[in-house]
């Protein structure tokens, strides 16, 4: 998953229309999913089940298997095989999952990083690579409002969020063949692609926004908070001002897109404290929520009125959130989760067909719908402590296991795909597999939380065992991850390196977004692994000539970057790859020119991802986000475990789609470059 939260570069969705009112109870919690072999499907149809465990590391998994700690992985491995699974270049989640979806590399799907740019605007508006919101065009101005009417004779164009993944997803071939497929929380598929023949269902996963149009914006309130609300990456912090024992607060919601200048819809609520009980009562929209210190609320439905001109009826959109009283006593601190799209009345398209997520919610109640569900931003910003994050991430896993039980209960045959995020977003925060100094924790603390990752792997092993017991003799089962993990102790600022070596000017430049001199800049970095030439005829202010100058510059950069050493003499970069040599296909227009593959322990710096420069080129990572995978693909492979014999010695993500099609008796399409793992 992301090593840089792309939420603050996303354009906010402009929500319109009405949402049905419903009261649905919160999803039930479970320590972990426990199934029963008696529930195995009696359908005679072909069954293929794929469990995607984001970020599950093959080295740790192999080690724990040898220790006898993952008996169910060992059992599946003995029946079919266990392999390292080649990941994408670069090994970033949107790129990797798109490789899986297309059965081919980035040249087929056009996703090369978490962050993309449009060359024609010279990096001014970077966007999340897999989805982009396009502003509306035209409108009928009425006072402070602007109405966009998409029918004749007006033909205005309302804002629209577009799926930027190109090519044909492999489930389209199943759909055409009449083979049902169901995907729960599929990454890199928001908004979800349509089903032409009605045999495909999907709930979108990573990339799905919250109601603010970001990738997860919590809101926190404390007595020691700022005088005026302060926005941080991933959060909004406000002062909790008690008069007597009551504080009036404001909750920021989605923007009202009917205004000429869109502004957030704000809900007022009150917090009443009970000093004796170390608790509060949150009163919001007629609902009263009682919380004691350390207690979480169930999911709470919120109504956001979308007001237009006086002659137009007020629309309504629904969102859901959870409240958490972090501390009481001397400093009351209240956390509100990102406002998720309400699955019982979704204001934005998050499933295919659109009723699918509502059907699930009718059965299970409310649940997380954002693509990034573990609130790592709250931990990075100091709103959560480690134990707070651990507990919140546990809620996410509980919901996922309940959803898996639903998925199995409603599965007969065809393809079932189910996704777990826990092993990725918890590893970013808790992974540390060495004696090196941890960025933020003492050695005992680092060991304690790394032990939690090992425990998480054991919980997931239990899930795999239950699944194998149910379907092991009746289905092809694949357990796969998109990449592995590595410590992240040192960060490299690519733009600072380009500045110091004369490729980016002026010397005092602080950001390619503001004070770069494009007339003398030949190369720049944007995103986590991408380097771009300021190429004439492609970039708006390009100066590097096509042909010999471009070729010489690329070769020079490859040579010099691979030679970069840290202050202790360690090599920083394992490989630098030319996009024109490793990508093939028709979707390379936004590709970087070079992809930087870092060695284990290193990654692009936090500042360089959005084009900012620091005085130092190499510096310590000082974030609780202490592990990552945005390195060289050879450093962080994923894993594949199957109950059928894996005959390929070096399987890769692009091989899984053709393997699935072959298992259903379908031929591999010409567009797929992968090969079946079941063929030697």
Nearest of 490, 488, 498, 491 to residue 594 by alpha carbon: 498
Q: Is 183 helix (H, G, I), strand (E, B) or coil?
A: strand
Largest CA distance in the chain: 76
pLDDT at 148: 84
pLDDT at 31: 35
- Topology given in CATH for the domain delimited by 48-133+152-210+348-487+636-663: Alkaline Phosphatase, subunit A (3.40.720)
> How confident is residue 443, by pLDDT bands cut at 50, 70 and 90?
very high
Nearest of 33, 48, 32, 83 to residue 62 by alpha carbon: 83
- What are 303's strand-pairing partners? 318
Q: Are 97 and 187 in contact (CB under 8 A)?
A: yes
Among 28-37, 99-108, 130-139, 498-507, name the one with the lowest average pLDDT: 28-37
pLDDT tens profile 230-288: 999 999 999 999 999 999 999 999 999 888 888 999 999 999 999 999 999 999 999 99
CA angle 333, 335, 339 (to 5 degrees): 160
Instruction: Give the helix ranges, DSSP H, for 27-180.
Output: 58-66, 71-79, 93-102, 106-109, 171-176
Nearest of 215, 236, 259 to residue 14 by alpha carbon: 259
Q: Are 576 and 557 in contact (CB under 8 A)?
A: yes
Q: Region 600-616: what's the mean pLDDT?
A: 96
Q: Region 102-127: what's the mean pLDDT?
A: 96
pLDDT at 43: 55
pLDDT tens profile 314-337: 899 999 999 999 999 889 999 999
Q: Give yes or no for residue 292 having a pLDDT over 50.
A: yes
pLDDT at 312: 86
Cα–Cα distance measured from residue 3 to residue 233, given in angstroms and rounded to the nearest whole number:
13
Show me where the domains of the chain are located.
Answer: 1-30+134-151+211-347, 48-133+152-210+348-487+636-663, 489-628
Stated as kind and residue range, the H or E segment containing 656 is helix 656-663
DSSP assignment of 556-600: HHHHHHHT-B-TTS-B-EEEEEEHHHH--SS--TT--SEEEEEPT
Q: Which two tokens stand for residue 20?
A: 């049905």
Strand-strand pairing, 340-341 and 235-239: unpaired
Nearest of 587, 643, 625 to residue 104 by alpha carbon: 587
pLDDT tens profile 625-636: 999 999 999 999
Cα–Cα distance measured from residue 662 to residue 173, given in angstroms and rounded to the nearest whole number:
11
| Phi, psi values for residue 412, rounded to 5° | -110, -60
Q: Are 416 and 407 in contact (CB under 8 A)?
A: yes
Q: Which two tokens stand for residue 400?
A: 């996922």
Q: Region 41-69: what's the mean pLDDT?
A: 91
Q: Is 476 helix (H, G, I), strand (E, B) or coil?
A: strand
pLDDT at 75: 95
Percent of the chain at pLDDT above 70? Answer: 94
* DSSP-derived secondary structure letter, 612: B
Cα–Cα distance measured from residue 101 to residue 613, given in angstroms and rounded to the nearest whole number:
35
Start-to-end CA span in the chain (Å)? 31
| Phi, psi values for residue 163, rounded to 5° | -75, 120
pTM of the model: 0.93
Other C-beta atoms lying within 10 Å of the C-beta of residue 63: 15
Stated as kind and residue range, the H or E segment containing 243 is strand 242-243
């Amino acid at each position: 998953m992301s090593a840089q939260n792309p939420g603050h570069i996303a354009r906010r969705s402009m929500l319109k229309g009405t949402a049905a009112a419903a009261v649905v109870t919160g999803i039930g919690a479970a320590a972990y999913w426990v199934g029963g072999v008696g529930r195995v499907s009696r359908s005679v149809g072909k069954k293929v089940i794929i469990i995607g465990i984001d970020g599950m590391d093959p080295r740790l998994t192999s080690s724990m298997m040898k220790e006898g700690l993952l008996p169910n992985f060992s059992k599946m491995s003995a029946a079919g095989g266990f392999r390292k699974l080649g990941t994408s270049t670069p090994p970033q989640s949107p790129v990797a999952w798109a490789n899986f979806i297309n059965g081919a590399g980035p040249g087929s799907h056009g996703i090369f990083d978490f962050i993309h740019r449009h060359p024609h605007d010279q990096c001014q508006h970077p966007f999340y690579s897999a989805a982009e919101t396009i502003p509306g065009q035209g409108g009928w101005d009425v006072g402070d409002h602007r109405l966009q009417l998409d029918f004749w004779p007006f033909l205005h164009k309302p804002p629209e969020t577009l799926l930027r993944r190109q090519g044909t997803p492999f489930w389209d071939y199943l759909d055409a063949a009449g083979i049902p497929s169901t995907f729960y929380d599929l990454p890199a598929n928001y908004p979800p692609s349509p089903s032409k023949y009605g045999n495909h269902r999907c709930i979108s996963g990573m990339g799905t926004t919250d109601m603010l149009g970001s990738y997860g914006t919590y809101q926190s309130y404390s007595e020691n908070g700022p005088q005026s609300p302060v926005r941080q990456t991933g959060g909004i912090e406000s002062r909790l001002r008690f008069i007597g024992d009551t504080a009036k607060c404001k909750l920021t919601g989605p923007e009202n897109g009917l205004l000429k200048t869109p502004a957030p819809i704000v809900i007022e609520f009150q917090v009443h404290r009970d000093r004796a009980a170390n608790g509060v009562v949150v009163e919001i929209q007629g609902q009263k929520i009682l919380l004691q210190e350390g207690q979480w609320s169930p999911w709470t439905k919120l109504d956001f009125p979308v007001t237009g001109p006086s002659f137009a009826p007020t629309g309504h959109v629904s969102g859901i959130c959870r409240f958490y009283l972090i501390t009481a006593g001397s400093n009351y601190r209240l956390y509100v989760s990102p406002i998720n799209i309400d699955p019982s009345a979704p204001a934005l398209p998050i499933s295919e067909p659109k009723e699918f997520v509502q059907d699930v919610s009718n059965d299970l109640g409310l649940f997380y719908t954002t693509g990034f569900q573990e609130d790592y931003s709250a931990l990075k910003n100091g709103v959560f402590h480690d134990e707070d994050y651990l507990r919140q991430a546990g809620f996410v896993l509980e919901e996922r296991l309940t959803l898996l039980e639903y998925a199995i209960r409603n599965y007969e045959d065809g393809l079932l795909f189910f996704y777990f995020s826990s092993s990725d977003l918890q590893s970013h925060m808790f992974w540390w597999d060495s004696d090196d100094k941890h960025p933020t924790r003492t050695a005992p603390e680092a060991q304690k939380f790394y032990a939690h990752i090992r425990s998480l792997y054991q919980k997931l092993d239990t899930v795999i065992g239950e699944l194998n017991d149910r379907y092991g003799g009746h289905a092809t089962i694949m357990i796969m991850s998109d990449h592995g993990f590595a410590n992240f102790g040192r960060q490299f600022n690519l733009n600072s390196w380009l500045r110091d070596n004369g490729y980016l000017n002026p010397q005092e430049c602080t950001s390619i977004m503001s004070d770069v001199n494009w007339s003398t800049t030949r190369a720049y970095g944007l995103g986590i692994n991408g380097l771009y030439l300021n190429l004439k005829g492609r970039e708006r202010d390009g100066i590097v000539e096509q042909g010999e100058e471009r070729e010489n510059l690329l070769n020079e950069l490859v040579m010099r970057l691979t030679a970069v050493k840290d202050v202790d003499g360690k090599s920083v970069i394992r490989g630098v790859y030319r996009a024109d040599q490793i990508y093939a296909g028709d979707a390379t227009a936004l590709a970087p020119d070079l992809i930087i593959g870092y060695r284990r322990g290193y990654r692009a710096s936090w500042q360089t991802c959005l084009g900012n420069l620091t005085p130092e080129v190499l510096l310590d990572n000082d974030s609780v986000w202490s592990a990552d995978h945005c390195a060289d693909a050879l450093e962080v492979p994923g894993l594949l475990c199957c109950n059928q014999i894996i005959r390929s010695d070096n399987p890769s993500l692009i091989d899984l789609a053709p393997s699935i099609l072959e298992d259903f008796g379908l031929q591999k399409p010409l567009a797929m470059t992968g090969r079946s793992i079941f063929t030697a």
